[in-house]
Chains A and B, each alone.
Chain A
Amino acid sequence: KQEVTQIPAALSVPEGENLVLNCSFTDSAIYNLQWFRQDPGKGLTSLLLIQSSQREQTSGRLNASLDKSSGRSTLYIAASQPGDSATYLCAVLENQGGKLIFGQGTELSVKP
């Protein structure tokens, strides 16, 4: 059974720091991996999606990598800003018709 783990559960950094959020999954047979951001009481915003055949995706200050063989993905945030404060969730899709398996999330706080 696929399990997704995110470490750390919470992270507090000063503004301007570069940071890495980690996501690991137990079964490497995935279709894709998606990173989401969630602000308190709001819906999920899709940040980046990496197909199983890809190694990384970039959008602005965000870079997500995928290493299927080791069951790991990282989300790199460059030059963090207070507006980046949110909960970040990773989720894997095992096959096209399957469901997303979520990690527990990392709650990020960027202090001014």
Chain B
Amino acid sequence: DTEVTQTPKHLVMGMTNKKSLKCEQHMGHRAMYWYKQKAKKPPELMFVYSYEKLSINESVPSRFSPECPNSSLLNLHLHALQPEDSALYLCASKDLGTGIKHEQFFGPGTRLTVL
């Protein structure tokens, strides 16, 4: 099973709302990622969790707050977003360790619209 799942598929929120995006994988991967993707652009890395600890934050505004409750789950909490934050948010995961491929697997994404 090489599946990463994300919920919800679509989300519309106002600038004063608080919402969360969820990501789950059951491949035993110990690295999980959040990316933001705008139309016709490649994904931009936001956060990386390695062994459930935040290892990379690409200078993302504090209105985005990641959380990794356990090795299978990754959340992205959203608060006071701006219309320019509207994008496709992608979750990904990969295995960690030596002697492995380090192949990254992506979820289907959450299409976020901020009004």
Pick from B59-67, B76-84, B102-110 the stretch touching chain A: B102-110
What is the count of residue pairs linking A and B with beta-carbon distances less than 8 angstroms?
Answer: 53
Category for how many chain B residues contact A = 20 to 34
A34 touching B50, Cβ below 8 Å: no
Write the chain A residue with the least CB distance to B9: A41
Measured CB to CB, the residues of A under 8 A from B are: 31-32, 34, 36, 41-46, 49, 51, 89, 91, 93, 96-97, 99-100, 102-105
Known: A43-B107, A44-B90, A99-B48. A31 touches B102 (CB 8 A): yes
Asked whether B42 is an interface residue with its Cβ less than 8 Å from the other chain, the reply is: yes
Q: How far is the CA of A67 from the CA of B49 in the complex (A)?
A: 31
A-chain residues with CB within 8 Å of residue B107 when the two chains form the complex: 43
Q: List 5 A-B contacts (CB under 8 A).
A: A45-B106, A46-B103, A46-B104, A46-B106, A96-B98
A-chain residues with CB within 8 Å of residue B104 when the two chains form the complex: 34, 46, 91, 93, 100
